[in-house]
């Protein structure tokens, strides 16, 4: 009942000395946005005319993620995009398939997604190596509930550790069962450069390393004073007004499209005096403030991180806050509402891999379905030395260079 797209495949090479002796047909279930169809590969068989030494050749099927399986790479891409971009759980996708009279067992769909993710693993491993070489990373974490057989009737609270490289706009999700500082070791153990985080103490051990400059987040400092408005409005408002002036300088730099060097000059001219005066004011205020009061906590948050909060002034490439990495995390929060938990720790790490690539698609304005379909179709045949060509931003460059020819 489905439309059929026929794709004829002839053997490679010169067929003039051969005769066609038949064909083999392979049907694959495909999905393009909006409808299902059958991709029918018709592979012609040819044999040499020499009856005494007959040699048979046949057109080669394209490489498949699931060899001899039903799904096309387009269908596999649809399933993953629907789940991790559009937050549609697999059981709802199964229901949608059923409405089209396509009956696929849940275990089968689970297997397809697992194999698709397995195919992406070499690309993810290469990406992890590359992002560790970035000289500036922002980091944050978010929770994910995970089924754990050791915890009967309870889910385990795991963590996605998320890293964002603001200059190259690269994003990495990594999963860990814990929020302990050691969970960041795979990425930060040998990292050198600028590391920007919120106030979570788990990053402090890395920030103290001589090869790392630890940056703070003015957005978090601002939130502390917003919480203190009901406790001490005059002092909270004073701090918020001064912090807002710092953000006004950032808006000015963006509006004028300043280079990093020009941004640094502007900050030193306009932001540094604000920070110096605000620091002096906080130092005086904290002496006469109850530490456990909300305003006391707000003052202590900023004062204890003053060097980190001021560090962004030293380089025009640095951000005033950690908001860019926080924005990257939001799709995970939407996913949590729809599919509630990961089936295992391994499944959570595989999901981190997919979140990584789709976050990079979003960052670089790449269609996630088109990218994943292309990647699944090519990842098995590409030379491993060139596997980075499949990164979403490099895929975009490839498309743009093709259009310009």
**pLDDT tens profile 129-152:** 999 999 999 999 999 999 888 887
What six digits make up the tokens of 238?
């004073």
Q: Which of 27-36, 122-131, 223-232, 356-365 has the lowest mean pLDDT?
A: 27-36
Residue that wins the pLDDT comparison between 52 and 194: 194
295 lies in a domain? no
- Residue 123, pLDDT above cutoff 90: yes
As a residue count, the chain comes to: 405
pLDDT at 405 over 70: no
For residue 271, how far is the Cα from the chain centroid?
32
Q: Is the pLDDT of residue 339 over 70?
A: no
pLDDT for position 319: 98
How much is the pLDDT for 398?
Answer: 94
Task: Give the pLDDT band (50/70/90) at residue 269.
Answer: very high
Residues linked to residue 29 through DSSP beta bridges, in sequence order: 38, 71
Average pLDDT over residues 45-68: 89
Give the residue with greater pLDDT, 390 vs 152. Answer: 390
Strand order in the sheet with 136-147: 170-176, 155-165, 136-147, 193-196, 212-215
Is residue 11 included in any domain, yes or no?
A: yes
In a domain? residue 78: no
Q: How far, in Å, are 20, 80, 362 from residue 369 at the CA level?
A: 38, 9, 11
Domain count, the chain: 1
* Residue 263: partners with Cβ closer than 8 Å, 6 or more residues away: 253, 316
Residue 102 belongs to some domain of the structure? no
Rounded to whole angstroms, the Cα distance separating 213 from 22 reads 68
pLDDT at 404: 72
Q: Tell me which residue of 131, 127, 170, 166 sits closest to 323, measured CA to CA.
A: 166
pLDDT of residue 100: 84
- The verdict on residue 291 lying in a domain is no
157 lies in a domain? no
- For residue 34, is pLDDT > 80? no
The pLDDT, as a whole number, for residue 45 is 95
**Per-residue pLDDT at 338:** 66
Q: What is the average pLDDT score of the chain? A: 93
**pLDDT score of 340 more than 80:** no
Domain that includes residue 35, residue range: 1-62
Residue 37 located in a structural domain: yes
With a threshold of 0.85, does the pTM exceed it? yes
Residues with Cβ < 8 Å from 302, sequence gap 6 or more? 221, 224, 239, 282, 309
Which of 233, 221, 166, 174 lies closest to 195, judged by CA?
166
Query: How far is CA 226 from each of CA 113, 232, 241, 290, 297, rounded to the nearest angstrom?
Result: 44, 10, 11, 17, 12
Burial degree of 6 (CB within 10 A; 0-12, 13-18, 19+): exposed
* Confidence (pLDDT) at 21: 84
Q: Minimal CA–CA distance to 64: which of 275, 377, 396, 286?
A: 377
Residue 40 resides in a domain: yes
Helical axes 106-131 vs 368-378, angle rounded to 10°: 90
Beta strands 170-176 and 193-196, pairing class: unpaired
Find the mean pLDDT for residues 354-360. Answer: 97
Give the pLDDT score at 148.
85
Neighbours of 59 (CB within 10 A): 18
Distance CA 85, CA 331 (A): 7
């Amino acid at each position: 009942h489905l439309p059929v797209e026929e794709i004829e495949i002839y053997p490679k090479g010169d067929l003039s000395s051969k005769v066609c002796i038949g064909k083999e047909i392979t049907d694959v279930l495909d999905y393009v946005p909006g409808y299902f169809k059958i991709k029918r590969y018709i592979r012609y068989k040819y044999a040499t005319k020499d009856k005494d030494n007959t040699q048979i050749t046949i057109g080669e099927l394209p490489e498949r993620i699931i060899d001899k399986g039903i799904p096309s790479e387009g269908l596999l891409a649809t399933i993953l995009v629907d789940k991790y971009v559009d937050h549609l759980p697999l059981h709802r996708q199964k229901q949608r398939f059923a409405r089209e009279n396509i009956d696929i067992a849940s275990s089968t769909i689970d297997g397809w997604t697992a194999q698709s993710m397995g195919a992406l693993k070499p690309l993810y491993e290469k990406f992890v190596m590359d992002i560790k070489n970035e000289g500036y990373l922002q980091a944050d974490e978010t929770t994910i509930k995970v089924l754990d057989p050791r915890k009967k009737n309870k889910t385990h609270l795991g963590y996605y550790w998320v890293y964002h490289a603001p200059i190259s706009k690269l994003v990495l999700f990594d999963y860990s069962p814990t929020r302990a500082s050691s969970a960041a070791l795979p990425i930060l153990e040998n990292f050198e450069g600028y590391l920007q985080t919120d106030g979570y103490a788990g990053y402090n051990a890395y920030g103290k390393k001589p090869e790392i400059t630890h940056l703070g987040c003015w957005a978090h400092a601002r939130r502390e004073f917003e919480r203190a408005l009901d406790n001490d409005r005059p002092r909270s408002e004073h701090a918020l007004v001064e912090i807002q002036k710092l953000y006004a300088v950032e808006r000015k730099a963006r509006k004028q499209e300043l280079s990093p060097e020009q941004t640094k000059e502007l900050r030193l001219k306009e932001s540094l005096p604000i920070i110096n005066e605000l620091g002096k004011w906080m130092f005086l205020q904290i002496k006469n403030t109850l530490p456990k009061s909300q305003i006391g906590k707000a003052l202590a948050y900023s004062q204890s991180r003053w060097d980190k909060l001021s560090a962004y002034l030293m380089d025009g490439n640095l951000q005033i806050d950690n908001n860019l990495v926080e924005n990257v995390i939001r799709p995970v929060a939407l996913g949590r509402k729809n599919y509630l938990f990961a089936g295992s720790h391994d499944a959570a790490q595989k999901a981190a891999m997919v979140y990584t690539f789709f976050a990079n698609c979003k960052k670089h304005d790449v269609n996630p379905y088109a990218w994943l379909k292309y990647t699944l179709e090519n990842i098995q045949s590409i030379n491993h030395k060139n596997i980075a060509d499949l990164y979403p931003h490099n895929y975009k460059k490839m498309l743009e260079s093709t259009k310009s020819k």
